[in-house]
Structures are given as C-alpha cells and as structure tokens.
Structure 1
Amino acid sequence: MPVLPSDYNPKFIFKNGHLSTVYSGLFRRINDLEQQRERLELEDGDFMDLDWSYSKTKSEKVIILLHGLEGNAQRPYITGSAQVFNTNGVDACAVNFRGCSGETNRLFRSYHSGATEDLDAVVQHILTKRKYSEIYIKGVSLGGNMALKYAGERKILPPEIKAVIGVSVPCNLHSSLKELLSAKNYLYAKRFKKHLVSKLCSKVELFPNKISKKDVLAIKTLKDFDDIYTSRAHGFKNAIDYYEQCSCRPFLPHIKIPSLIINAKNDSFLGEECYPYTEAEENPQLYFKVPNFGGHVGFVAPLNLYYSEKSAIKFVQDMV
C-alpha cells in the first residue's frame, strides 16, 4: 500500500518531539482501568505475567499488547490502548516481558526485540485456553518490532490473527541504536542503561558463572549492554548480529495480514532506515503512516485519547 496520509496536528507545544515524548512517558495517566494478572508458565521453565482487561460485554475478540524497552503492562501507552479497545468491545491481554512485571525472571536470558517465541507462547496460550475467534497484536517501540517480525517471519500464522499494529517502531535496530547514542538522546539513553544495568546486577548474583561484576562495570553504552549481555544470553554473536537478525524490516515484505506502522517524522529514536517506505509501497498488506509530529510514543490528543490509539482501533475496525 502507498504511504497513508496523516491528519495528526497536535497543539503547538506537542509539536516538539522531545516534549511530546517526555510528557507521554512521565506525566500521562490512565484512570479506571481494571487489570487482572495471569501467570503464563513457559516451556523453558521461565514465566511471563499477563495483565488482562475486559470489554463490558462478552467479546470474542482480543488484542495482545506489547510494551517497549524496560516498559511493562502498566505504562500509559499500554493501559491507554487497553482502555480504548475495551471501550470498543475488545478484550486486552497486556504482556509483561520476562523480568518486567516487578519480579526477576528465573533464567539468565530475559527479553529482547526479536524474541518472537515469547509472543507465540502468548498466542498459543490464548488459542488453547481462551478461545477467541479474532486476535489482534499491537506493539509499541521494541514491542512493535517484535510484533511485525512475528507477522513476517512465519509462513503460516494462526487464522485467528487478523491484524498487527506497530507504533514508533525501530524497524532497523542498529539505525535506532545509533540515534540513541547521539547527543540529542543522551538523557534517554542514560535512563534506559540505568534500568537495564540495575536488572543485570540481579543476574550477577543468580548466575555468577555466566556474568560478573567486571562485565557489568564494562557497560558504558546501550551497545555495550547488547554486546555483553543481550547477545551472550540469547545466542547471538554480538550486538550487531543481534540487530541484524532481529530487526523487523527484512520481514516486512513477507507479511500477509493487514499491518499498520505509525512512525512520527520527529521521532528522535528512529534513524532513516527505520522508515520502510519501499516495503509499504510494494506490500499491499502493509500500511504506513508518517505523521509530522508525535516524537517517540508521544501522539498527544484531546481527551487523553492518543492519535496512535484512535488510529489502531480504526484500522482494526476497517480492515477486519
């Protein structure tokens, strides 16, 4: 599909990408969403926690929500999405990736941008235990990359999966990493690294034969983290190998179900290679919106109903 036009035009203050990003991450609040937690035991002995919220009427439709780097199922971009879909008659399963639900996961490995085996475990659990007839998947940032990679890497998807949405998606992980390491994103990168290293310290105590305090002290950048931990824990040669294998962009031409990507032009986390114009033009199932504004997951709109959330529910209603 050709790139879709966008009419997103926020108030002047939120036309600044950094302000919309920071406001949405630190100050947005979602009220009156009740979530019920379910623990999903994984075949490798680990677990993920799923936070469910429901439509007021019995629904045969569910959306799986995937958070971003060092996020969780209580982040406003997840709870806001859940609330919108619940209001429109769709149940929501908000996934906490391994180690992201407030409790350290059991294994040395954790989560990463391309861990589609964990997404598939959620899908299979829902198909087996919940019996929904329609499943949608929406991922934000890292979760968006995972969702789109999942849709494109499998020759056959369960027929119940009807649509995929990705918001602020780092379609090329190395390109995004280079942007995060630039001066304009210093504070964001510092915050991400702080949270990642803090979690990694617990791994040192639990798995001293696999990682040491010396290793942790050697982490100066996000790329160092991926070289020292992410690649080692998840079977990649190094950070670059991880980025190359797990970026969703090479999988976009193979997507065979309606899929929507929303990436703002002023998203400071995304490099040029994160904007898959060619793939969208050549794949009739891939829809691409590039609003001028929105920063990184910062599509502020009136009534606390974000442009990305309105676009997601409309896409599902129109396509399915």
Structure 2
Amino acid sequence: MGAEEPPVPVPVLSPLPLLLAAATAALLGYYWARVPRRPLLAAGPRLRAFLEQRCPAVGETFYPTPWCFEGRLQTVLGALLWARPPVSYRSEAIRAPDGGQLILDWAEDADSNWHPDPRACPTVLLIPGLTGSSQAAYLLRLVHRASRAGYRSVVLNHRGCWGEELLGGEDRTPRTFCASNTEDLEMAIAHIKRRYPQAPLLAVGVSLGGMQVLNYLGRRGWAAGLAAAMALCPSWDPDASAASLEQPLNDLLFNQRLAASLRCLISRHRAAIGEKVDVEHVLQARTIREFDERYTAQAFGYRSCREYYQAASPVRWLHRVRVPVLCLNASDDPFSPLHAIPVEAARHLPHVALLVTAHGGHLGFLEGLCPRPGSYMERLFAQFISAVFEHREELQ
C-alpha cells in the first residue's frame, strides 16, 4: 500500500470581514431609514412663504455625512475638516462710551467691488461665538461666501478676543463681553449705518453672537436699523445649555475646553480687570457655568449666574422682534438642547423663523458621503443674504 496523502487543510474564514460588512450594512440601513430629513420650519405665513420661495435650502432634505451624522461628531469634525479661506481684513478701532475699544474688521475682497455704487453696496455684519474673532474658521468661510456674492462684510470682534488690550474709563473697570449685553453691537450698527447710510445692513450672529443679535432685535424693535438678521446655532436657554454641556462626554469634549479658553482670556487681561475681580478665583473655574458664576455675572452686574442666564435668554425678547430673522439650530446640538428651542412660539410670530434640522451638531452641518466644500449652514447663509438684499421689498 502506498503512503496516505496528507489531508488538505480547510481554509478558516476570519469572521472580522463578515462582521464589518454586517455592521456597515446595519449602519447604512439605519441611516437611510432614520437620518435624512427635511428641516422643520416654524414661522409666520408671510415669512415662511418668502423663505420657501427664495431660500431653497429650507425645503431640501438634509443628508448629513453618513459616517459622522451624530451631533458631537458633526461638531468636532465640522471644526477640523474645512480649510480656512484666505481673507484680508482692514481693522478699525472705535472707542466706546465706557472707555473700552471695539475692533471692526472690514473684509477686503475684489469680488465685492463690482457693485455699481460702493456706497450702497449691501453690508453683512458678523458677530462671532464665544471667545471667537474674525479669524475663526467658521467666520472666515461666511465672510468668503458673502464676498463671493458681491457684498461687503465686516466682523465685530468681542472685546479682548482680537488681541487688543482691554481699556476702561477712569472710574470704570474694563469688561469683556456676554450674551445679554448688546451695547457693543448697538454701537457697531450705528457706526456702520453712519458710514454707509445708503447701504442695507444685515446682521449675522454665530452661537453666542446669535444670542446677542436676538436680544438686540428684541430690545430695539422697529428701531433695530437692519434689513434682516440671522442667528446660527444660538443657545435659547443658557441654563439648559450649561446642563447639556455638563453631561460627561460633552464636558470632556467641549465644556472643559471652552472653559480653558475663557480662563486664558482672563489670564491675558488680569492686569486690567484684577482690581474688582478675583482673578485667581476665576482661573479655578473648570466649566462654563463656574466661569459665568465667578466672572460674567459679577462683571456685568448680576447677583448670580442664574440671574445672568435669565437675562441672556433670547426667548424672553422674541415677541418684540420686528425685523425678519432666520434662526438655524440642529436637534442634536450639544450646546443647545432641542427641548429649549422655542418652536411653537415661532409659529405665531410674524418676524421670526426657526429652522431646525434633525442632525448637524453645533456649527457642523456636514453633508455628503465625502463632505463637500461648504456646509448646509453656509449654503443657507448665502441663500438668505442674497434673498434679503435682492428681494427685500417682499419682506417689508
């Protein structure tokens, strides 16, 4: 008998590729079944009709990037993925009545010089978010969009965030900024309108800047001096926002990092604010709520952080808004929880429109399988400012 042949080895298939394929199929199935949604638009009938006709994005299904549609991922990657478009600024310093200094950065772009009468060229005033300035990536992209559309852009920098020294009068302590204080915004608008009295002006606030714009509109009513306004990812209830950011993962990803940025701001200006504020106590704050309790409330004359949050909430002013304003929020924004967004109130207000997407995070709004240049937020911004400037007679 011949020698027996050795058995042929049976290949063992690794379960990992099968598991990955199953997980991918499950994720895609969930995505297509649950994720793409048309945004919720809450507005009075006339403003709603204007937006539906002139801003196609409000009625489009939003397809967030399938591999990062969750709100926190959208927030983080939205801040990291996009390149910073080149924008040149010309800075202008304005002295405030309290002795402080405001820095306006005017975008210098050839695309905005085509207007037949530069004095009447529509102007977009942008207000950054917390600790933001004209150099923030999200703001550079908005300025770039406005310039490409042929409009003039100017950024109001928050005090102390541009790199300048905080200044104050002889008997006044220098201050920074907060969501409830709209004095700097009011001064900037008045200055721009004096400089370009024939040019329509539109204000766009981002995050905390959006809160300032909404509070300004409510306080000024018919005298706001704006053709329209926009608030991108504003916080409607600062107390609810602080509670959301204090959740463990949000605290690690966002709260502690923002508190660190605020501490750096205070540390940089300790010589200017140290006389009436316990800087060392402020520098021990580890959350935004602690910072607001130790610095913001005290610096702006509130008895407590809770009182400041009540004063800063834009909801209390909405019924007094008399300028058309479009507000964009995402349901999964870790900075502004859905239950705090005043959707029902907006349905009965003639000058306020609330657009709420199912996903998008905070200033994320990435869309497409491979996120394409320009987010949903940027497209909406470009459509809205063009609609207002080109068809503003329909809003009057």
TM range (shorter): over 0.9
CA distance in 2, matches of 1:240, 1:138: 27
Q: 76, 85, 99: which is aligned to 1:31?
A: 85
> Is 1:43–2:109 an aligned residue pair?
no
CA contact (8 A) 1:47 1:106 kept: yes
List runs of 5+ in structure 2 lacking aligned partners.
1-42, 49-57, 169-173
CA contact (8 A) 2:210 2:234 kept: yes
- Structure 2 counterpart of 1:174: 239
> Is 1:237–2:306 an aligned residue pair?
no
- Structure 2 counterpart of 1:100: 161
- Structure 1 counterpart of 2:255: 189
> Is 1:72–2:133 an aligned residue pair?
yes
- Displacement of 1:213 in angstroms is 4.5
Q: Deviations over 1:73-125 (max 9, x none)?
A: 11121111111111112111111110010223224311011221110110011
Greater mean alpha carbon deviation, residues 26-35 or residues 16-25: 26-35
CA contact (8 A) 1:62 1:132 kept: no
1:27/1:49 CA distance change after superposition, 3 Å? farther
- Displacement of 1:273 in angstroms is 4.3
Q: 152, 155, 163: which is aligned to 1:91?
A: 152
CA contact (8 A) 2:128 2:209 kept: yes
Q: Deviations over 1:2-56 (max 9, x none)?
A: 6864522122123122222112223422223222221122121111211111413
AA partner of residue 65 (structure 1): L
AA partner of residue 61 (structure 2): D
CA contact (8 A) 2:124 2:152 kept: yes
Larger Rg: 2
- Structure 1 counterpart of 2:318: 252
1:273/1:149 CA distance change after superposition, 3 Å? farther
Q: Alignment partner of 1:19: what SS? A: helix
- Displacement of 1:158 in angstroms is 4.5
1:30/1:127 CA distance change after superposition, 3 Å? same
**Structure 1 residue ranges (4+ consecutive) displaced by more than 4 angstroms after TM superposition:** 2-6
Q: Alignment partner of 2:327: what SS? A: strand
CA contact (8 A) 2:217 2:224 kept: no
Greater mean alpha carbon deviation, residues 127-136 or residues 211-220: 211-220
- Displacement of 1:193 in angstroms is 0.8
Q: 36, 49, 57: which is aligned to 2:114?
A: 57
- Displacement of 1:70 in angstroms is 1.2
CA contact (8 A) 1:56 1:87 kept: no
CA distance in 1, matches of 2:360, 2:353: 18
CA distance in 2, matches of 1:280, 1:219: 36
> Is 1:200–2:257 an aligned residue pair?
no
- Displacement of 1:167 in angstroms is 0.9
TM-score, L = length of structure 2: 0.76
CA distance in 2, matches of 1:126, 1:300: 33
CA distance in 1, matches of 2:127, 2:272: 27
CA distance in 2, matches of 1:35, 1:241: 37
- Structure 1 counterpart of 2:381: 312
CA distance in 1, matches of 2:242, 2:59: 28
> Is 1:81–2:142 an aligned residue pair?
yes
1:57/1:250 CA distance change after superposition, 3 Å? same
> Is 1:137–2:226 an aligned residue pair?
no
CA contact (8 A) 2:207 2:231 kept: yes
- Structure 2 counterpart of 1:297: 363
CA distance in 2, matches of 1:30, 1:220: 30
CA contact (8 A) 2:216 2:224 kept: no
List runs of 5+ in structure 1 lacking aligned partners.
none
CA distance in 2, matches of 1:298, 1:223: 23
1:104-143 mapped onto 2 (5 Å cutoff)? 104-107=165-168, 108-143=174-209
TM-score, L = length of structure 1: 0.93
CA contact (8 A) 1:280 1:288 kept: yes
CA contact (8 A) 2:222 2:323 kept: no
CA contact (8 A) 1:56 1:86 kept: no
Q: Deviations over 1:126-179 (max 9, x none)?
A: 0112334200011111001111111112133244x1111111110111111111
CA contact (8 A) 2:131 2:158 kept: no
1:67/1:90 CA distance change after superposition, 3 Å? same
Q: 11, 22, 41: which is aligned to 2:76?
A: 22
CA distance in 1, matches of 2:331, 2:347: 18
CA distance in 1, matches of 2:327, 2:301: 28
Q: Percent identity?
A: 26
CA distance in 1, matches of 2:220, 2:337: 26
